[in-house]
């Protein structure tokens, strides 16, 4: 296990990074959006506490009862529409503006990274704000439309006009989109420094990325509220709310080694 840094004492990390060729890649999970009010799967709505995500977020559940699955996603969307990016999201955007990052690999489907201004990202598990046809290739946004309201039948694809739309996310039992996964692997192999932020380190295949980076001799910094399996291979583990620790880290490293973006 690497060094455990608490109470925002990150100067030693910044000093270390001054000697590293900066190609920072970030792997982010649900923990980064917690301060934005986003639940991981189930909120406080008692109706949905009787269901497990593994029982609803599957192609089998959708085939069996598409209306139930859509009602669950509408309940999640009502929470999402109230959420805003928090300082951790903006810290990653600032690192990008300083030309210190290659990209963000996100397991989150909430889109808050994009709203925060991050340009280079890959959404490994899809994007909940969009819907796609179950048969044809049509994709459209649904987050701010009538689909987010209650008591509406599962939407029919406006393109082929006969098949249902489904949320544009990767469900349990489905494989990752190959182009997204290839890009995530490419970025990981390029990374001189890998930030692992707000992720449990147990959801595969994304959980394998820090280990791949470690074998490639990347410098690994973990941001989380507690120890995870990734802690064992991290050079530094920074424990605490990432909406507090990540902005402090980003500000200091930008001051030391950041480069302005001439296109801005």
Task: Give residue 151's pLDDT band: very low, low, confident or very high (50, 70, 90).
Answer: low
Q: What's residue 120's pLDDT? A: 97
Non-local (6+) Cβ contacts of 198 within 8 A are 28, 29, 30, 31, 32, 33, 34, 88, 223, 224, 242
Residue ranges and CATH numbers for the domains of the chain are: 3-37+85-125+176-257 (3.40.50.1220), 46-82+129-169 (3.30.1600.10)
What is the pLDDT averaged over residues 232-260? Answer: 86
What is the pLDDT averaged over residues 12-33? Answer: 80
Q: What is the pTM of this model?
A: 0.88
**Percentage of the chain surpassing pLDDT 70?**
83
Strand-strand pairing, 101-106 and 121-123: parallel
For residues 155 and 67, give the distance between their C-alpha atoms in angstroms, rounded to a whole number: 9
Determine whether 125 is an active site residue: yes
Could you tell me if 62 and 9 are in contact, meaning their C-beta atoms sit under 8 angstroms apart?
Answer: no
Question: Considering 22, 89, 113, 125, which one is annotated as catalytic?
Answer: 125
Q: What's residue 179's pLDDT? A: 96
Q: Which helix (H) or strand (E) holds 103?
A: strand 101-106
10 pLDDT higher than 90? no
Closest CA to 250 of 208, 197, 175: 197
Q: What's residue 261's pLDDT? A: 54
Q: What's residue 18's pLDDT? A: 63
For residues 254 and 170, give the distance between their C-alpha atoms in angstroms, rounded to a whole number: 34
Q: Of 108-122, 158-172, 249-263, where does mean pLDDT reach its minimum?
A: 249-263
For residues 26 and 188, give the distance between their C-alpha atoms in angstroms, rounded to a whole number: 9
What is the pLDDT averaged over residues 57-62? Answer: 94
Non-local (6+) Cβ contacts of 157 within 8 A are 133, 134, 135, 136, 138, 163, 164, 165
Strand-strand pairing, 139-141 and 126-133: antiparallel
pLDDT digits (tens, 9 = 90+) for 81-111: 889 999 999 999 999 999 999 999 999 999 9
pLDDT digits (tens, 9 = 90+) for 180-236: 999 999 999 999 999 999 998 888 999 999 999 999 999 999 999 999 999 999 988
75 pLDDT higher than 50? yes
Q: What is the mean pLDDT of the chain?
A: 86
For residues 224 and 137, give the distance between their C-alpha atoms in angstroms, rounded to a whole number: 38
Q: What's residue 19's pLDDT? A: 57
**Percentage of the chain surpassing pLDDT 90?**
60
């Amino acid at each position: 296990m690497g060094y455990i840094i608490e109470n925002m004492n990150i100067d030693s990390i910044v000093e270390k990074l001054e000697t590293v060729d900066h190609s920072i890649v970030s792997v982010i999970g649900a923990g980064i959006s917690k301060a934005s009010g986003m639940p991981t799967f189930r909120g406080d709505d008692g109706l949905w506490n009787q269901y497990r995500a593994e029982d609803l977020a599957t192609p089998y559940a959708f085939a069996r009862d598409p209306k139930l699955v859509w009602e669950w996603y509408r309940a999640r969307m009502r929470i999402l529409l109230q959420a805003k990016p928090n300082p951790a999201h903006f810290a990653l955007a600032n690192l990008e503006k300083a030309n210190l990052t290659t990209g963000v690999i996100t397991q989150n489907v909430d889109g808050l990274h994009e709203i925060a201004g991050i340009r280079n990202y890959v959404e490994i598990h899809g994007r909940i704000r969009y819907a796609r046809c179950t048969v044809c290739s049509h994709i459209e946004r649904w987050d701010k439309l009538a689909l987010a309201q209650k008591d509406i039948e599962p939407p029919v694809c406006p393109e082929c006009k006969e098949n249902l739309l489904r949320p544009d996310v990767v469900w349990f039992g489905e494989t990752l989109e190959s182009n997204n996964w290839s890009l995530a692997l490419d970025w990981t192999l390029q990374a001189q420094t890998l930030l692992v932020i707000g992720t449990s380190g147990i959801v595969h295949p994304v959980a394998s990325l820090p280990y791949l980076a470690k074998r490639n001799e990347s410098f690994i910094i973990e941001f989380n509220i507690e120890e995870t399996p990734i802690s064992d291979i991290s050079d530094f583990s920074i424990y605490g709310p990432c909406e507090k620790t990540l902005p402090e880290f980003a500000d200091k490293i930008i001051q030391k080694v950041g480069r302005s973006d001439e296109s801005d």
